[in-house]
Copies of this chain bind each other. A is one copy, B any other.
């Protein structure tokens, strides 16, 4: 079945202990779409500028991603500059040039309206809600957000949370959103705000699913080098939601398996700058890492 993902398509300039890259293809939607494309059909809604060339679009279309919902606007694409030199688990934002993204108004092509799954990547909750309202027949809605919206746009964000089947955020966001410092209480606090299920990501330590009153923990694969953590969470979300969309029914077992695929896809994403590693990932590699993740966590 098809996933419609709405959010940023961007260029990232990055500095990590492994090196430096200027203007590599990035954006939450790009990482999500590439990751999910291994499991199901993916359709993208976003906006780019004149610097988004056919070679950039080809990164997505080569994986079968439908890019007909990517709008072209005069000017430059969203450009984020960040550094992980201090801490690989937390980016220092050096510059955020919104460019054409500042006036982003998601437009959903008619050909996308039959998408069964909707993913609202991290954007202004007002836009997330507007997209959600344009997709009334969707079977499932998942989404992401960040500290900025939690702190400064809480009322709008709460309206989005009430619409979500699954919210995917990190530890710090869960604690901020709930006002609780204990992980379990934070998760319960977030669930009380509306989402039916919650995935909390713990960076290098794994992630936890809270769903139907149950908890499920997934580890990460040990990696010798995290080259670039940018997009790890979006790649996790792509693997998680892509697997769910590929299954005939949403059972607890499907949710758990989806957590494992999320972790697997995140492990690829961080092994190279930008989308490099996801571009050359193979299905055989995914299957091998899934088996490895099970082997390192199951008695």
Contact of A299 among B183, B205, B294, B296 (CB under 8 A): B294
> How distant is A175 from chain B, measured CB to nearest CB, in Å?
12
**Interface-forming stretch among A34-42, A102-110, A111-119, A218-226?**
A218-226
In the complex, which residues of chain B have a beta carbon less than 8 angstroms from the beta carbon of A219?
206, 217, 219, 297
Contact pick for A224, options B185, B202, B226, CB 8 Å: B185
| Residue pair A299, B253 in contact (C-beta under 8 Å) | yes
Name 23 interchain pairs, CB-CB below 8 A, sorted by A: A182-B226, A183-B204, A184-B223, A185-B224, A185-B225, A187-B222, A206-B206, A206-B217, A206-B219, A208-B222, A215-B296, A217-B219, A217-B220, A217-B296, A217-B297, A218-B297, A219-B219, A219-B297, A253-B299, A257-B299, A260-B299, A297-B297, A298-B298
Question: Of residues 190 to 220 in A, which have CB atoms within 8 Å of B's CB atoms?
Answer: 202, 204-206, 208, 214-220
In the complex, what residues of B have CB within 8 A of residue A202's CB?
205
A256 at the interface (CB under 8 A from B): yes
Q: Which residues of B contact A204 (CB under 8 A)?
A: 183
